[in-house]
C-alpha cells in the first residue's frame, strides 16, 4: 500500500511541478512586462475591467517588443546596442550574468541564429571520456588535413569552455539538435535523451 501511494504521488508531482514552474515563470514575465502598463491604464481609466486592462497592456507590450526588434536591426540601433554591451562587459558581475543570459536565450529561442552548426562528441580530457562539443567551422591544419573547430562549453555556464581543432575522423557526430545539446550542458546532464545516436 505504501509503495502504491508513493508511486502515484511521485507521478503526480512530476506532472504538476513542471506546470507550476512554467506558470510561475509566465506570471513573473507578465508582471514585469505588461503588469507595469496595467497600473498606468487603471490609473487613468478607473472604470476599466481588469481583463480588458491586461489585454490592452499585453498588446502594447507586444507592439513595444516588435518596435524594439525593428530598432535593433537598424544600423543606428545596432551601434547603440553594441555600445551598451561594451559598457556592460566592463563590469565583472554584470558581464557574467548578461553573457550567460544572452547565450541561453539565443540557444533556446532561435538555435539557428547561434553559430553552432551541429553537436559532436570529442575525447577529452583523455581517450574514452567524451564531452559534448559544438562545431563552429572547418579549417585545415598544417598538414592540409580537414579539421573542425569544436567549442566544448563548461557546465552549467555555456559561455565559457575550450576551443579544439580536431581532425574530422576523431570526432563522433550525433543526431542531437543544438537546442538539445545546450539543454544537456545547462542542466548538467539531467535533461538528456536516453540514447546518443550517431548521425550518419
DSSP string over 48-90 = --HHHHHHHHHHHHHHHHHHHHHHHHSHHHHHHHHHHHHHHHT
Give the sign of the dihedral formed by CA 126, CA 128, CA 133, CA 139.
positive
| Residues composing the chain | 200
Mean pLDDT value across residues 147-172? 86
Residue with cell 566544448: 152
The angle, 0 to 180 degrees and rounded to 10, between the axes of the packed helices 75-89 and 92-109 is 130
Q: C-alpha grid cell for residue 31?
A: 508582471
Residue with cell 545596432: 78
Stronger pLDDT, 155 or 48, i.e. the higher one = 155
pLDDT at 121: 92
pLDDT greater than 60 at residue 35: yes
**Average pLDDT value for the chain:** 78
**Predicted confidence (pLDDT) per residue in 61-79, tens digit:** 788 778 888 887 888 878 8
pLDDT greater than 80 at residue 14: no
Q: Which long-range contacts (CB under 8 A, 24 or more apart) does 148-154 make?
A: 148/120, 150/120, 150/122, 151/116, 152/122, 152/124, 153/185, 154/185
Mean pLDDT value across residues 11-36? 74
**Predicted confidence (pLDDT) per residue in 111-151, tens digit:** 555 567 889 999 888 888 889 999 988 888 778 888 999 99
Mean pLDDT value across residues 145-166? 86
pLDDT at 87: 83
pLDDT greater than 60 at residue 98: yes
Q: C-alpha grid cell for residue 195?
A: 540514447
pLDDT at 2: 77
Stronger pLDDT, 185 or 95, i.e. the higher one = 185
pLDDT at 150: 92
Amino acid at each position: 500500500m505504501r509503495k502504491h501511494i508513493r508511486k502515484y504521488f511521485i507521478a503526480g508531482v512530476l506532472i504538476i511541478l513542471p506546470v507550476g514552474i512554467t506558470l510561475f515563470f509566465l506570471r513573473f514575465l507578465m508582471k514585469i512586462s505588461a503588469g507595469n502598463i496595467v497600473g498606468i491604464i487603471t490609473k487613468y481609466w478607473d472604470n476599466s475591467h481588469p481583463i480588458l486592462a491586461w489585454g490592452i497592456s499585453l498588446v502594447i507590450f507586444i507592439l513595444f517588443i516588435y518596435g524594439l526588434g525593428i530598432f535593433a536591426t537598424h544600423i543606428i540601433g545596432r551601434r547603440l546596442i553594441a555600445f551598451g554591451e561594451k559598457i556592460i562587459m566592463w563590469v565583472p558581475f554584470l558581464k557574467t550574468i548578461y553573457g550567460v543570459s544572452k547565450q541561453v536565450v539565443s540557444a533556446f529561442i532561435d538555435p539557428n541564429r547561434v553559430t553552432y552548426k551541429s553537436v559532436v562528441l570529442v575525447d577529452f580530457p583523455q581517450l574514452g571520456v567524451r564531452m559534448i562539443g559544438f562545431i563552429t567551422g572547418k579549417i585545415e591544419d598544417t598538414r592540409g588535413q580537414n579539421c573542425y573547430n569544436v567549442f566544448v562549453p563548461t557546465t552549467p555556464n555555456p559561455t565559457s569552455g575550450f576551443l579544439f581543432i580536431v581532425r574530422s575522423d576523431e570526432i563522433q557526430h550525433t543526431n542531437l539538435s543544438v537546442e538539445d545539446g545546450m539543454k544537456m550542458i545547462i542542466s548538467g546532464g539531467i535533461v538528456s535523451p536516453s540514447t546518443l545516436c550517431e548521425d550518419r
